[in-house]
Amino acid sequence: MLLTLSTTHSPATDLGYLLHKNPERPQSFELPFGLAHVFYPEASAGRTTAALLLEVDPVALVRGRPSSGGQGGTLDQYVNDRPYVASSFMSVALSRVFGTALSGRSKDRPELAAQPLPFSARLSVLPCRGGEAFLRRLFEPLGYTVTATRHALDETVPAWGDSRYFTVTLEGHVRLGDLLSHLYVLIPVLDDDKHYWVGDEEVEKLVRHGEGWLATHPEREQIARRYLRHRHSLAREALERLAGDEAPEPEERQEARNAEEAVLESRLSLNEQRLQTVMTVLQEHGAARVVDLGCGEGRLLKALLKDRRFTELVGMDVSHRTLEIAHDRLGIERMPDLQRQRVKLLHGSLLYRDQRLAGFDAATVIEVIEHLDMPRLAAFERVLFEYTRPGLILLTTPNAEYNVRFTSLPTGTFRHRDHRFEWTRAEFEAWAASMCERYGYTVSFRPVGENDAEVGAPTQMAVFTR
């Protein structure tokens, strides 16, 4: 059972840092079903390939089952395709051997883990119950170029025809964590089997590894059913959770958490400084039509409404309740007709393409991205830079280096319990540079708040222009 991962990113040997496996040293790992070996058939600056080879011991598996009484089993338990074809064994190996990379993290190259890179994944023997058409329906919507070579059932007996096994190569510009998540979920889906009991824990795994892509996949129902071994109640639960994955947290909890962050930053009047800085930059660039993504309670919209240079203002948020608060804060019902025509509130997701967001001069994203995990951030990047694609983007996020200046904040914790990350200035600049390279923008940076000589300003802002 063999999987190879290749990249031509320069230097390609950075793959070792992303996988947390040294190209110069083969490694072996004991798993419940056998051994996993990691080695590098090639490792150069131009191209590096990592191989994950599984040695499954079917005899040990059968003898270890309570039902066999330690005396072995029937012949079909020993003689089958399990040691040779990619299956749920491979998914388990991915999570055990490449767990850090699967989670989208890299200690030594965090900026690379967050960036899409050129990757090629090759599975030497992959069972495809549903054939090549189903294989393509699974991977092509995720942006991969799929090459599939079908194996004959027996090359010495052509009359027997083709088998259900393929050698499959996937090529794409993708984050390594996303690629591994896609493989983790879809390999057992194609095999339509699992070697272990499927229960509630598998629902959790599917929801976790399907974040950011499975909810919108055209084959999501088939994926859920097969991944959960056709246990319809579990598949229904998983699909319901995926459909509501972006649902806002309960109102009381959201308000409490927002209050915590507001108290932490209150002595700096940081929110007011953010809004004023954003408004100033919008004015400098002559933006008239502005969309505020993740508008919250409408504080920025209220400030912009006071300046008649802003002729159209739109706020979007995923929370109905938050939009109701924004509606009341703005006093839309009490506005004169001409004033009311300048502002609109939209309920919608920031993770999916929305035609209502197209055509604006500028988009503002104020303290939003740090609330998104890496798969969701990847989806939002495309929504913002590829589909919405305004001429100007103003995006703010906390500066993690400044946290040491908050004496009430315990070391190593985030400013808000709902933050999924907080970036240093270098990490933010690396991410912004990758957005520019992929989508044709240029970027400059502005501090928000007092600029500490040692740790920088409390908030960092990127100004993207197209």
Domain segments of the chain: what residues? Answer: 2-196, 256-465
Which two three-digit tokens encode residue 387? 């589909």
Dihedral of CA 372/376/377/379: which sign?
Answer: negative
Burial 430-442 (b: 16+ CB within 10 A, else e): bbbbbbbeebebe
Model pLDDT, residue 460: 95
Model pLDDT, residue 216: 81
Model pLDDT, residue 80: 58
Model pLDDT, residue 60: 64
Q: Output 256-262 pairs: Cβ under 8 A, ≥24 positions apart.
A: 257/416, 257/417, 257/418, 260/416, 260/417, 261/415, 261/416
Please give the model's pTM, rounded to 2 decimal places: 0.53
Nearest to 101 by CA among 183, 201, 181: 181
- Residues 15, 21: Cα–Cα separation, whole Å: 8
Identity of the amino acid at 41: P
Q: CA angle, corner 113, sides to 109 and 117, nearest 5?
A: 110
- 365 — phi, psi (to 5°)? -135, 95
Residue at token pair 């990350």: 421
Question: Beta strand 2-7 with 117-127: parallel, antiparallel or unpaired?
Answer: antiparallel
List, edge to edge, every strand of the sheet that includes 343-347: 343-347, 312-317, 289-293, 362-366, 392-398, 459-465, 442-448
In CATH, the number for domain 2-196 is 3.30.1610.20
Model pLDDT, residue 86: 78
The tens digit of pLDDT for each residue in 393-434 reads 999 999 999 999 888 888 878 888 888 999 999 999 999 999
The length of the chain, given as a count of residues? 466
Model pLDDT, residue 101: 93
- Enumerate helices (H) and strands (E) in the chain, giving the number of each: 18, 14
Model pLDDT, residue 269: 76
- Residues 390, 26: Cα–Cα separation, whole Å: 48
The tens digit of pLDDT for each residue in 186-222 reads 999 998 887 777 888 888 899 889 988 998 888 888 9
CA distances from 360 to 110, 287, 367, 387, 449 (A): 32, 9, 20, 11, 28
Low-confidence ranges of the chain (pLDDT < 70): 60-83, 243-268
- Residues 215, 58: Cα–Cα separation, whole Å: 35
- 363 — phi, psi (to 5°)? -125, 140
User: Which fold, 256-465?
Assistant: Rossmann fold (3.40.50)
Model pLDDT, residue 67: 44
- Residues 90, 82: Cα–Cα separation, whole Å: 10
Task: Tell me if 397 sits within 8 A of 459, measured CB to CB.
Answer: yes
